[in-house]
Amino acid sequence: MDRVTGMNRVLVSPILIVLGSAAACQQTPEAATDASTLPAMNCPEIGDDPVRIDGGTFSMGQTGMYAEEGPVRQTRVGEFWIDPHEVTNRQFADFVAATGYVTVAELPVDPEQFGASPEDIPSDMLEPGSAVFTPPDRPSNDYIDWWRYVPGANWKKPYGAAGPNAAANEPVVHLAWDDMVAYARWKDGRLPSEAEWEFAASAGGDTSREQPGPDEANSWQGVFPVVNEETDGFKGIAPVGCYAPNAHGLYDMIGNVWEVTADYYRPGHDPADTNDPQGPDADNAFDPQNPSLQSRVMKGGSYLCAPNYCQRYRPSARQARDPGLGASNVGFRLAYDSKPD
Binding mask 190-219 for Ca ion (x = CB under 5 A): ----------------------------x-
Least gap, CB of 11 to Ca ion (angstroms)? 23
Stretch that binds Ca ion, among 143-151, 263-271, 282-290, 300-308 (CB under 5 A): 300-308
* CA 284 to each of CA 176, 187, 254, 279: distance values in angstroms, whole numbers, following the listed order: 21, 29, 28, 9
Q: Decide: is 329 part of the binding site for Ca ion (CB under 5 A).
A: no
Residue 252 near Ca ion by CB under 5 A: yes
234 binds Ca ion (CB under 5 A): yes
Among the listed ranges 10-18, 77-85, 96-104, 303-311, the one in contact with Ca ion (CB under 5 A) is 303-311
Of 159-167, 189-197, 299-307, 311-319, the segment contacting Ca ion by CB under 5 A is: 299-307
Distance of alpha carbon 13 from alpha carbon 94, whole angstroms: 29
CB of 35 to Ca ion, least distance (A): 14
Q: Which of residues 58 and 224 has its CB atom nearest to Ca ion in the complex?
A: 224
Q: 221 or 274: whose CB is closer to Ca ion?
A: 221
Residue number with CB closer to Ca ion (148 or 299) = 299
Question: Which of 143, 195, 234, 235 has the alpha carbon at shortest distance from 318?
Answer: 195
For Ca ion, the closer CB: 9 or 314:
314
Residue number with CB closer to Ca ion (280 or 301): 301
**CA distance linking residue 213 with residue 304, whole number of Å:** 14
* # chain residues binding Ca ion, by CB under 5 A: 8
Sole window of 8-16, 120-128, 149-157, 302-310 interacting with Ca ion (rule: CB under 5 A)? 302-310
Between residues 11 and 87, which has the closer beta carbon with respect to Ca ion? 87
C-alpha count within 13 angstroms, C-beta hemisphere, residue 237: 29
Rounded to an integer, what distance in angstroms lies between the CA atom of residue 201 and that of residue 183? 22
- Of the candidates 29, 279, 300, 326, which one interacts with Ca ion according to CB under 5 A? 300
Q: Which of 13, 89, 130, 256 binds Ca ion (CB under 5 A)?
A: 256
Q: Least CB distance from residue 251 to Ca ion, whole Å? A: 8
C-alpha torsion 54→74→334→7, nearest 10: 150
User: Rule CB under 5 A: which residues touch Ca ion?
Assistant: 218, 232, 234, 252, 256, 259, 300, 303
